[in-house]
Amino acid sequence: MANISIGPLRWQAEPSRVEIRQSGESVRSYYQVTAPRDVSSMCKGRPVEELPRILSILSASHHLASAVTLDNLFGVTPPPTAKNIRDALVQSLTFIHHARKLLFLLSSSQNPFGLRAELAVRAGTSPVAHHVLDEIGHAMALAQEAASILGGRHPHPLTAVAGGVSRPVKEIHYRRLAEIAESSLPYALRLRDIFREKIIGSGNGLYELMDLTVSPIASITFSGVEDAIVLTGADGSGSTTFTANKTTDTLEALREPWTHLPFVHVKGKTWQGPISDQSEGLFFVGPLARLNRCKPARTPQAEEERLHLVNSLGPAPHFSAIAAYWSLVVEIIQASEIMKDLCTEEKLTGLEVRTIASNPGGQHAHGALEAPEGFIYHHYQVDERGIVDDVTVLDAASENNALRCLLTQKMVEDAFEHGKPWDRAKKTIELSLLPF
C-alpha cells in the first residue's frame, strides 16, 4: 500500500493534483481539485444584474452566459448589433482559449521562457523555436485586443448586460476590429501549419503520446440555431435534444468527498463513479464534443480542415487527445473566419445596442451558451427585489470532471504497468487533460 501525490497539475484552471493509492496489483487515482469555487456564496444575496461580472471569475464566457440568463429573466431581446458584438466576443475568446492551449502543447517539452541558447543544447525532444511561440503570442495579443474592445476589459469582460451590451462600438474601435479580424485568419492558418508540422508529422513523441483514447462516451453541445441542447450518444448517433429550462431535469451534479469539483452526469442513467467508463450517464463537452456532432463547420476553410481531420483519423466520433487538439485547430480557423464576417460596419456599429427591460423581471431564468470550453448553463432564482436566492452553474470543468478522472486513471494504470516514473506520468496526464 503506497500513497503517491503528484501535482500541482500544469495548465489546469483549477488548483489540482493527482492522488494515487496503490495496493498490490491495483492502482486507483484521484484527480483532485483542492480549492472550492464556491459560486453560491459569491452570488447569493447579490442583486441579480451583478452576476455577469461576478461569474466571469469562472471564465470570460460565463460573463456572456450570465447576460443571456438575464435577457431571459427580464424577457428582453438584445438588438441585432448587440447580438453581433456578443458573438464577436465569443469568437475572440475562442481564439484566445484555443491558441493558449495549442501554445501550451507546442511548448510542453521545453521551458517557454528559457534562453534560446539553453534550448538549443537540450537533447531528446525537438523544441519549438521561440519565434514560432512568439508568433502565436502575437496572434493571441491581437485577439485579446479585440476582446478588450468588445468586452471592455480582458480577461474579465464587463459589457454584457441584460438586454444587450453596455455601450456601442465606436468607429475608431470598429476599424481596429476589422484590422484584427483581417490579420487573424492568416495567423490561424499558420497555426494549423505549425500543428501539422510539429505535432502530426514530427515524430517527436507527442503524437504517439496523444494517441490514447478513452472508450466512447456521450457528449453534450448547445446549438444556438435550434436553441436546444443536444445529447449525442457515445457512438455518434441517437442524439436527443432538450431545452435550457429542462437542463436540471436532465443533468445532475454529484459531489465526492475527495474533490471540490462536482461531477455532472445524465440523470436517471447509470453512474458508477468517476473512474468507470461503464456509466451510461457519462458525457463530456467542448471542442471535441462539437466535432462529434458530425456537422459541417460554419466556414469554408474550417470545414476544409475538419475534412482533413476526418480523412486522417476517420469519421467522428473521436475520443482521442489528438482529435481533441485537432478540433482546437479547426475551431480557431472557424473563429477567425466568423470574426472576419462579423466585423463589418453594418454588423458591429450602430447606437442601438440595448433593450431596457420594462418589467421588474421574473423569479427565475435559465441560460445556455456554447462557450469555447464547451456547453455552459446558468439558472438563477431571485426574490421579488431581484436578489439572488439560489444559483446553479454548470461549467465545462465539472461537466468534464468524470472524463478527466477517467483519463487520469488510464494514464496512471499505464504508468504503473510499465513502471514509468511518476514525473513522466504527470506530464502525460497534463497533456491528455489539456485539450478537454
User: Which residues between 253 and 282 bind another protein (CB under 8 A)?
Assistant: 255-260
Taking the chain, what is the end-to-end CA distance rounded to the nearest angstrom?
31
Q: How far apart are CA 191 and CA 332, in angstroms?
A: 9
Q: Which three cell numbers stand for residue 382?
A: 431571485
Q: How far apart are CA 166 and CA 175, in angstroms?
A: 19
- For another protein, which stretch binds (CB under 8 A), given 219-227, 238-246, 289-297, 354-362? 354-362
Residue 297 beta carbon to another protein: minimum distance, rounded to whole angstroms: 27
Q: Can you name the residues that pair with 378 across neighbouring β-strands?
A: 367, 393
DSSP 197: I
Contact predicate 191/99, CB 8 Å: yes
Among positions 84, 430, 433, 434, the unique one binding another protein when judged by CB under 8 A: 430
Q: How far apart are CA 163 and CA 77, in angstroms?
A: 6
* Binding map of another protein across residues 124-163, x = CB under 8 A, - = no contact: ------x--xx-xxx-xx--x-------xxxxx-xx-xxx
Among positions 63, 74, 181, 332, the unique one binding another protein when judged by CB under 8 A: 74
Sequence-separated (6 or more) residues with CB below 8 Å from residue 164? 76, 78, 79, 82, 83, 353, 354, 355
Residue 299 beta carbon to another protein: minimum distance, rounded to whole angstroms: 25
Closer Cβ to another protein, 147 or 218, answer by number: 147
Q: Which three cell numbers stand for residue 147?
A: 476582446
Closer Cβ to another protein, 303 or 413, answer by number: 413
- For another protein, which stretch binds (CB under 8 A), given 28-36, 205-213, 299-307, 371-379? 28-36
The count of residues interacting with another protein (CB under 8 A) is 79
Q: Scanning residues 199 to 238, which ones bind another protein (CB under 8 A)?
A: none
* Binding map of another protein across residues 308-347, x = CB under 8 A, - = no contact: ----------------------------------------
Closer Cβ to another protein, 113 or 419, answer by number: 113
Closer Cβ to another protein, 38 or 346, answer by number: 38
Residue-level length of the chain = 436
Q: Scanning residues 40 to 59, which ones bind another protein (CB under 8 A)?
A: 41-42, 44-47, 49-50, 53-54, 57-59
218-223, strands of its sheet edge to edge: 240-242, 228-232, 218-223, 283-284
Contact predicate 9/18, CB 8 Å: yes
Residue 34 within binding range of another protein, rule CB under 8 A: yes
Q: Rounded to the nearest 10 degrees, what angle do helices 321-342 and 171-195 cross at?
A: 150
